[in-house]
Amino acid sequence: MDGIAFLNELAGGKPVGGAYYFCGEDPYSLNKGLRALVERTNPDLREMNTTFLKAPLPSDIQAAAETLPFFDDLRVVVAQEFDADTANALEDYVKTVPETTALLFVRPGKAPKTNPLYKAIDALGRAVSFNPLEPAQAQAFLQKRAKENGIPLDGMAAHQMIQYLGVDLGALENTLLMLGAYVGFGNRVTVQAVDACVKPSSEYEVFKIMDPLWAGNKREGIRILASLLSDPSESAIGLATLCERNVRGVLGAKQLLLDGKNEAQIAQILGMKPYPAKKAVASAKKRSYEQLVKMLDDFIAVEWKQKQGLAKAEDSLILACQQNF
């Protein structure tokens, strides 16, 4: 189940009880889901009816789950940092957890679809994945949080925040509150305010470099790169690593194109969103496999050359762009 759908069901008053499995790559949403489940207990008795277990044994989990709630309708038991042996030992038990207990297994990261415990809980319809939102969903989230905090937020300003910070909801919310304080209570947050206060992520900056390079505009790409390298807060090796990651994605797309895969299949296999996959496929079609392998090697070599004292990382990075685009 999708995390948003789960939270909507909770907000609609859906009863909870039995075993749940929370996973996903968005820590903010996962934590929000955990809090929402815990908040189903009576606030006056919550401390006595909520148990958090770290690296527990199967017997610890069963004992906590079998304990009746204290003068309440629900007990919440949260199991974290559990190992494979514990998970496998509870595969059958999770089907019989009392409805007076919400037994929650929390494991950040991608859904472990082949794991027996996950599969058993998923079969009950209670495996929930809290994954990063799409940009449009993140924009809606920002506008909702802005309204709740009394911060007028321009649509273009919200768009700019997502461009700069990605869809990390925790970073977006913290930045929204900072911008609200910057402009003053009741004043509007504009694109100009975002530009004045928010530093774009390195990933965003590298996208600005690589996009014109792949499009054939070498002069513009290298101009942006040189500007970034002159910023003391930027690391040439860090930028090279991000460029390497970008090229690696294109090389992966090239390999799959040669295997006869289409764009949709490539996006699924590489775990890419549709738009980045489209860009990777378009770039892959412009280069041979051998050219992309050399390009990747050149970006990988940036750090190695500096460590060997052969060249500064800044010079190697610019040279890699000069020679490969």
pLDDT of amino acid 264: 86
- The two tokens of residue 233 are 């807060």
Going from the C-alpha of 189 to that of each of 150, 162, 244, the distances in angstroms are: 11, 14, 35
Is the pTM higher than 0.75? The answer reads: no
Ranges for all domains in the chain classified under CATH 1.20.272.10:
202-324
Ranges for all domains in the chain classified under CATH 3.40.50.300:
3-129
CATH architecture of 202-324: Up-down Bundle (1.20)
For every one of its 325 residues, what pLDDT tens digit does the chain have, with 9 covering 90 and above? Answer: 889 899 989 989 999 999 999 999 888 899 999 999 999 999 999 999 999 999 999 999 999 999 999 999 999 999 999 999 999 999 999 999 999 999 999 999 989 999 999 999 999 999 999 988 888 899 999 999 999 999 999 999 999 998 888 888 888 999 999 999 999 988 999 999 999 998 877 677 788 899 999 999 999 999 999 988 988 878 899 899 989 999 999 999 999 999 999 998 998 898 877 777 888 999 999 999 999 999 999 999 999 999 999 999 999 999 999 999 9
CA distance linking residue 266 with residue 104, whole number of Å: 34
198 phi and psi angles, rounded to 5 deg? -110, 125
pLDDT of amino acid 312: 93
CA distance linking residue 104 with residue 143, whole number of Å: 31
Q: Which fold has domain 3-129?
A: Rossmann fold (3.40.50)
Ranges for all domains in the chain classified under CATH 1.10.8:
136-197
* Ordered alpha helix ranges (H), the chain: 3-11, 27-38, 58-66, 84-89, 116-123, 135-148, 155-165, 169-183, 191-197, 202-214, 218-229, 236-258, 263-270, 274-284, 289-307, 313-324
The CA radius of gyration of the chain, in Å to the nearest whole number, is 24
CATH of 136-197, one of 1.10.150, 1.10.3210, 2.60.40, 1.10.8: 1.10.8
* Ordered alpha helix ranges (H), 67-134: 84-89, 116-123
pLDDT of amino acid 207: 83
